[in-house]
Structure 1
Amino acid sequence: MHGIHLIDTGFGRPSFDAAYLVVERGRGAFIDSGTTHSLPRFLDALDTAGIEPTDVDWLILTHVHLDHAGGAGSLMQHLPNAKLAVHPRGARHMIDPSALIAGAAGVYGEDIVRRDYGDIVPVPTDRVVEAHDGFAIDLAGRALLCLDTPGHARHHIAIHDERANAFFTGDIFGLSYRELDSPGGAFIIPTTSPVQFEPEAAHASIERMLGYEPEAMYLTHYGRVTEVARLAADLHEQIDAMVAIAQRHAAAPDREERIVQEFTDLYVSRAQNQGVTLPAADIAKLLAIDIRLNAQGVVVWLDRGTR
């Protein structure tokens, strides 16, 4: 639809992590890069779209978390004519990814980072373009507008596609897995993973995107969703509820575990109320990794507010 091709990057599990190829008049732009392991899938997407690596003008990163950007350097090696567009705060991490690697290794361990993300390759400085707020990309006459959208991360952009009247949202418009679709529509939750969750900024970024009256959102996790106004309202409600839960347990010695449990209850009850028919235990299992990351993210936010 609209020359937009979804790429399942293969990260995590099927239908978990998406990137996109936008094609206009024989020219291409990738949105996010997946991991280094994802490279064959991106090259296959070019074949499917009927264009060559030399026809790709841009790789645009929503942000530099490794499930979105870990494969950027390797992918750029196969795109000789492309520039990489990234938030100004993220540009240095593409040129020298050592801090990204060290940060991920500190959380998960070096072996797991290498296993899950592969070798993370630098991008030459002269191929990196800082996509400041309002940075406009002309893809063969198709306008792709980069907007500064903090809340999930301070180096996050969302890309408005004028032709499709849609946004590529990275993580600022939450997570919506197709396994949780129901007669009530898509189910969505915020993502507050470490380390830069900011609730007021997240609210503002969601509202800023709504101001464009988009017909659809293309999420990294996962795919195209419509009913944009309803989903935005769901995100606003849950951000406020999650903040309240975090604040209620701020002083508890086992606060992360308490927050995990309450987040689980919150998401499961909302899913069931929306008509998701999976058993509660299956919903909780499907969301378990995201629940843990969300709890860790709000704990970091709590600590930042008390310093």
Structure 2
Amino acid sequence: MAANSIDRISIIDGNDLNRKNRTGIYVLNESKKTLIETSSSPSVPFILDGLCSLGIDPLEIEYIILTHIHLDHAGGAGLLLKHCKNAKVIVHKKGARHLENPSRLIAGARAVYGDDFDRLFDPILPIPPEKIIIKENGETLQISDTTTLTFFDTPGHANHHLSIYDPISNGMFTGDTIGIYYRELKDDGFELYIPSTSPNQFDPDKMLSALSIMEEKHLDAIYFGHYGCSRNTSEIYKQIRYWIPIFTNYAKDAFNQGESFEDRVELAYTTILSDITGYLADLGITEAHPVFEVLKLDIRVSSMGLIDYFAKQEQKVL
């Protein structure tokens, strides 16, 4: 199905990267109907189909909330507005100008995805400034008589990252700031959560601080951008805390050993992938499992962000 009910909250599968259970668009079916995330533009037909299956007219959508402006979360916002004509887009103050003029977003994504960019993301349409609402840390949004969402500034994955607290489910929509949930492994009886350290604003200390915000709220649910709801919050915190130092230690070694950016990324990618492969092998998950298709992509992109982080650290020292 295009949309699956999670209590009063539904998730639409955006089929990002032509994969199921990859990127989710959340629907809050309140009096002021609200979407959280849009995925990229190729996901828009799936969103429209999902809304139809929920009995929601796109013209009923009043708010489209973006956790951050990376294209797999926000790239489809401009195109979706063509259908959700009454909606306003809510974003972090550091992301707003890039929605109005997405040229730098496009250039950054082309650098990462190369020849695959058009297939994965095109078109990326600018959003008129009058359609944009900025939310800052601690600000709220009332979407019904009983539901007021609260926004938290949660950098670590990106400096323009918001997490959104829903008091009814005692849940947080976390985008990428505390990692990725690999739903493919749930049928095997195992949960895997790893940090998303993609270019170019990864910061391990800020990511751990964002995680502490979630922990201190004693959440009952975390709604991941990739992908879906998990109620096993203690396991999420444990695994992200486990993997962040492993990622950074391998990347630091790769940065010190490699001569070029590409060499360093390859070294980091190889060592991180090897560790995760061994970790999963101990649980009976072999490299033949379909999860490795997306794991390899995520680890490669995360390796780029890790090496970029250490390059910036070196520049600070100099």
Match of 2:20 in 1: 14
Q: Give the TM-score taking structure 1 as reference length.
A: 0.93
- Separation of aligned partners in 2, 1:37 and 1:284: 23
Equivalent positions of 1:1-307 (< 5 A) are 1-12=6-17, 13-25=19-31, 27-109=32-114, 112-141=116-145, 142-181=147-186, 185-253=190-258, 254-273=263-282, 275=283, 277-280=284-287, 282=289, 284-307=292-315
Query: Structure 1 residues 280 and 105, CA, compared in 2 at 3 Å: closer, same or farther?
Result: closer
In the alignment, structure 1 segments of 5+ residues that lack a partner are none
2:264 alignment partner AA:
R
Given that 2:13 and 2:47 are in contact with CA atoms closer than 8 Å, whether structure 1 keeps it comes out as: no
Deviations 1:99-152 (A, max 9, x none): 11122223333x532221121111111110111111211111311111111000
Q: Give the TM-score taking structure 2 as reference length.
A: 0.90
- Separation of aligned partners in 2, 1:287 and 1:105: 20
CA RMSD of aligned residues (A): 1.7
Tell me the CA shift for residue 261 of structure 1.
Answer: 1.7
Tell me the CA shift for residue 244 of structure 1.
Answer: 1.4
Given that 2:98 and 2:104 are in contact with CA atoms closer than 8 Å, whether structure 1 keeps it comes out as: yes
- Separation of aligned partners in 2, 1:52 and 1:182: 33
Tell me the CA shift for residue 271 of structure 1.
Answer: 2.7
Tell me the CA shift for residue 66 of structure 1.
Answer: 0.5
Kindly tell me the number of residue pairs found equivalent between the two proteins. Answer: 303
2:269 alignment partner AA:
V
Tell me the CA shift for residue 182 of structure 1.
Answer: 5.8
Report the 3-state secondary structure (helix = DSSP H, G, I; strand = E; otherwise coil) of the residue aligned with 1:244. Answer: helix
- Separation of aligned partners in 2, 1:158 and 1:100: 20
Tell me the CA shift for residue 183 of structure 1.
Answer: 6.2
1:258 alignment partner AA:
L
Query: Structure 1 residues 284 and 79, CA, compared in 2 at 3 Å: closer, same or farther?
Result: closer
2:310 alignment partner AA:
L
Report the 3-state secondary structure (helix = DSSP H, G, I; strand = E; otherwise coil) of the residue aligned with 2:270. Answer: helix
- Separation of aligned partners in 2, 1:178 and 1:102: 30
2:88 alignment partner AA:
K
Given that 1:57 and 1:83 are in contact with CA atoms closer than 8 Å, whether structure 2 keeps it comes out as: yes
1:167 alignment partner AA:
M
Tell me the CA shift for residue 80 of structure 1.
Answer: 2.4
Tell me the CA shift for residue 8 of structure 1.
Answer: 0.9
1:138 alignment partner AA:
Q
- Separation of aligned partners in 2, 1:144 and 1:77: 25
Given that 1:189 and 1:267 are in contact with CA atoms closer than 8 Å, whether structure 2 keeps it comes out as: no
- Separation of aligned partners in 2, 1:182 and 1:252: 39
